[in-house]
């Protein structure tokens, strides 16, 4: 399928949506360089670590969505070298190995995980989410579409973890964004560095 170009995104950057793309399409897109600020990739079963490597040539990429699940054979390590990547959405199944490959992503501010239509198909564990939050020092917001049990486990693990401090010395606080039905269950359990918010997307 040909890429679609829905329009501009902030400061004359492009917002691009791709579906069922091959690795060479992503490479051609990266040739646009700093023009691309927002990229959404849907239903790409052939996604590989190598096909993500060209994204490191998009120095102003701010937001990235990978939809349809990420196999545990795919490492997202190339994304840790996208120094302007602020918001990352991983929709569908996201195994622990995939989250671990994102460790230390330097400027990641917001991470969204899970599947709105099929929350039970999320593959990550609370332990992997907590490791990632601890390693991504700039992360402020974590959005989850998952089962109530997984959401509760993530909240508990984050509360028990040492999340460290911001550069100004203040203790870190993570905003855990969940759908309305989970928000009603988890709101009363927030605290110790974790604030529960309602998903607004």
The residue ranges of every structural domain in the chain are 1-58, 62-73+88-201
Binning pLDDT at 50, 70 and 90, where does residue 120 land? Answer: low
Say whether pLDDT at 2 is over 50: no
Say whether pLDDT at 9 is over 50: no
Would the pTM of this model clear 0.75, i.e. be above it?
yes
Per-residue pLDDT tens over the stretch 47-87: 888 889 989 988 889 999 998 888 888 999 999 999 899 99
* Averaged pLDDT score across all residues of the chain: 84
In this structure, are strands 63-67 and 36-42 parallel, antiparallel, or unpaired? parallel
Short-list 172, 111, 169, CA closest to 145: 111
pLDDT at residue 140 in the model: 93
Per-residue pLDDT tens over the stretch 136-182: 989 999 999 888 898 999 999 999 998 988 778 888 999 999 988 88
pLDDT at residue 117 in the model: 67
Binning pLDDT at 50, 70 and 90, where does residue 13 land? Answer: low
Contacts of 109 (CB under 8 A, 6+ apart): 86, 87, 138, 139, 140, 141
Q: Which position has the higher pLDDT, 201 or 158?
A: 158
Give the chain's radius of gyration (CA, Å).
17
Backbone φ and ψ for 154, nearest 5 degrees, come out as -65, -45
Binning pLDDT at 50, 70 and 90, where does residue 1 land? Answer: very low
Binning pLDDT at 50, 70 and 90, where does residue 201 land? Answer: low
Say whether pLDDT at 5 is over 70: no
Give the long-range contacts of residues 105-109, CB within 8 A, separation 24 or more. 105/79, 105/80, 105/135, 105/136, 106/80, 106/136, 106/137, 106/138, 107/83, 107/138, 108/136, 108/138, 108/139, 109/138, 109/139, 109/140, 109/141
Binning pLDDT at 50, 70 and 90, where does residue 8 land? Answer: very low
Per-residue pLDDT tens over the stretch 17-27: 877 666 677 78
Short-list 55, 59, 186, 26, CA closest to 17: 26
Backbone φ and ψ for 106, nearest 5 degrees, come out as -65, -40
pLDDT at residue 21 in the model: 64
Say whether pLDDT at 108 is over 90: yes
């Amino acid at each position: 399928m040909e890429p679609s170009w829905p329009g501009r995104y902030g400061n004359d950057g492009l917002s691009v949506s791709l579906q069922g793309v091959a690795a060479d399409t992503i490479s051609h897109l990266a040739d646009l360089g700093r023009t691309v600020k927002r990229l959404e990739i849907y239903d790409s079963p052939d996604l590989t670590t190598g096909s993500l490597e060209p994204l490191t040539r998009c120095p102003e990429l701010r937001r990235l969505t990978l939809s349809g699940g990420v196999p545990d054979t795919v490492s997202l390590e190339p994304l840790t070298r996208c120094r302007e990547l602020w918001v990352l959405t991983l929709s569908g199944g996201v195994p622990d190995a995939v989250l671990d490959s994102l460790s230390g992503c330097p400027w990641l501010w917001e991470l969204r995980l899970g599947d709105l239509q099929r929350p039970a198909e999320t593959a990550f564990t609370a332990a992997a989410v907590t490791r990632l939050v601890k390693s991504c020092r700039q992360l402020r917001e974590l959005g989850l579409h998952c089962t109530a049990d997984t959401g509760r486990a993530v909240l508990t693990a984050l509360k028990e973890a040492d999340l460290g401090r911001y550069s100004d010395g203040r203790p870190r606080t993570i905003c855990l964004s969940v759908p309305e039905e989970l928000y009603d269950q988890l709101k009363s359990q927030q605290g110790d560095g974790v604030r529960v918010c309602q998903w607004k997307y």
